[in-house]
Amino acid sequence: MSAPQNFKNHARFDPKFHFFTVPLALLCFLASILHVWKQQTPANVLLVPVTIVLFMTVGIARGYALQVQDRLIRLEESLRMERLGISHAGLTIRQFVALRFASDAELPALTERARTEKLSSKQIKEAIVNWRADYDRV
């Protein structure tokens, strides 16, 4: 790891997804449109919806993986909050995901603020003083 994780550098890219899979799927889609433009054969016409499905499948698979990660984070943070005696009733999943970066010491007050003020995940992360890094999320 290079620099310690904080609000400014916590967002991550998955090179296999962001720099290979998505661009390649987009390139296939654009190439299929070019083929139809140059020569309208039944195979070229069929290639467009096939590449649309490919591109959508890539996005849907990524979305499902992020949903699972969010649910696991909610479970982990619920257990942490219970251990610390903090009520997590009324929090959204996005708030749970943001609160995972808060230290144990600041979690009770920040959780209450998030619930009562309906803070967004960005607002929660900006309010964190002692950042608790999460290097596992992709």
Asked if pLDDT for residue 102 goes beyond 90, the answer is yes
pTM of the model: 0.80
Concatenate the DSSP letters of all residues of 93-129 into one string: HHHHHHHTTB-TTTHHHHHHHHHHHT--HHHHHHH-S
Tell me the pLDDT tens digit for each residue of 113-125: 999 999 999 999 9
Q: How far is residue 64 CA from its own chain's centroid?
A: 10
